[in-house]
């Protein structure tokens, strides 16, 4: 499934191909024609409406028919039945998000030049790691982040499985993806902005609204 799907993905404009040798002089960024949301929609449609409904050369059945037979059974083989449904969609999403560790400063938490803050962070400001003493290192908390939406972090409360929502410190700024952020910073650097790391996010909201 993976190999077949990736071969199909590489037919889309803007593909990065399997490796630099295959890509050659092809300008993937210039040729890209889909937003991330459009690609997700394309991939979902391809998997559910094309791949899983096409007859497999080895089984001579569609993947959907094989799945249905495995769940509901056939005249010759009983099925395993429908699995228990997992209802906590938010927890599933959080489980698969990339994790980041940061200590909490008075101004909150900073990740990739973006500052985040919420009241729940106050009790963790400059807190020392357990057993480190007065001269020890600061406690580092675990945060989850969705690359498609950098406007919020999800802080894992130590010793629990509870996540707290930590928004931008400046909540007036628009939501952006990590790829939009990288593109905006890259453009600022190419334009020769002095001290770009300090001013990037003073300009980022305007850049993204104008260019994305």
Between CA 43 and CA 6 the distance in angstroms is 10
CA pair distance 20, 17, nearest whole angstrom: 7
Measured CA to CA, the distance from residue 175 to residue 52 in angstroms comes to 34
**pTM score of the predicted model:** 0.67
- Put residue 73 in one of left, alpha, beta given phi > 0 → left and psi -120 to 50 → alpha: left
* Per-residue pLDDT reduced to its tens digit, 100-115: 999 999 999 999 889 9
What CA–CA distance (Å, rounded) separates 133 from 164? 27
Sign of the C-alpha dihedral, residues 147, 152, 155, 161? negative
pLDDT at 140: 94
pLDDT tens track for 143-187: 999 999 999 999 999 999 999 999 999 999 889 899 888 888 887
Pick the CATH number of 91-167 from 2.30.30, 2.40.50, 1.10.10, 1.10.3430: 2.40.50
Has residue 9 got a pLDDT over 80? Answer: yes
Give all strands (DSSP E) within 64-197, no chain letters: 99-102, 109-111, 114-116, 141-146, 149-156, 163-167
Share of the chain above pLDDT 90, in %: 46
CB 158 within 8 A of CB 143: no
For the chain, residues classed under CATH 2.40.50 are 91-167
Q: How far apart are CA 192 and CA 189, in angstroms?
A: 5
């Amino acid at each position: 499934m993976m190999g077949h799907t990736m071969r199909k993905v590489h037919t889309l404009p803007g593909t990065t191909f399997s490796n630099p040798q295959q890509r050659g002089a092809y300008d993937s960024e210039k040729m890209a024609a889909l937003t991330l949301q459009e690609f997700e929609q394309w991939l979902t449609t391809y998997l559910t409406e094309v791949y899983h409904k096409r007859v497999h050369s080895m089984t001579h059945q569609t993947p959907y028919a094989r799945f249905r037979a495995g769940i509901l059974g056939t005249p010759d083989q009983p099925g395993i039945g429908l699995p228990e449904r997992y209802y906590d969609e938010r927890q599933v999403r959080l489980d698969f998000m990339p994790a980041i560790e940061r200590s909490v400063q008075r101004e909150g938490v900073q990740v990739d030049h973006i500052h985040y803050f919420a009241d729940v962070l106050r009790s963790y400001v400059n807190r020392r790691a357990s057993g480190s003493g007065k001269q020890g290192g600061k406690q580092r908390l675990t945060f989850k982040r969705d690359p498609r939406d950098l406007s919020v972090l999800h802080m894992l409360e130590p010793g629990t499985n509870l996540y707290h929502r930590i928004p931008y410190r400046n909540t007036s700024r628009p939501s952006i993806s990590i790829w939009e952020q990288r593109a905006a910073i890259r453009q600022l650097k190419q334009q020769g902005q002095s001290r770009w790391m300090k001013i990037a996010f003073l300009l980022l909201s305007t850049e993204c609204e104008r260019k994305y």
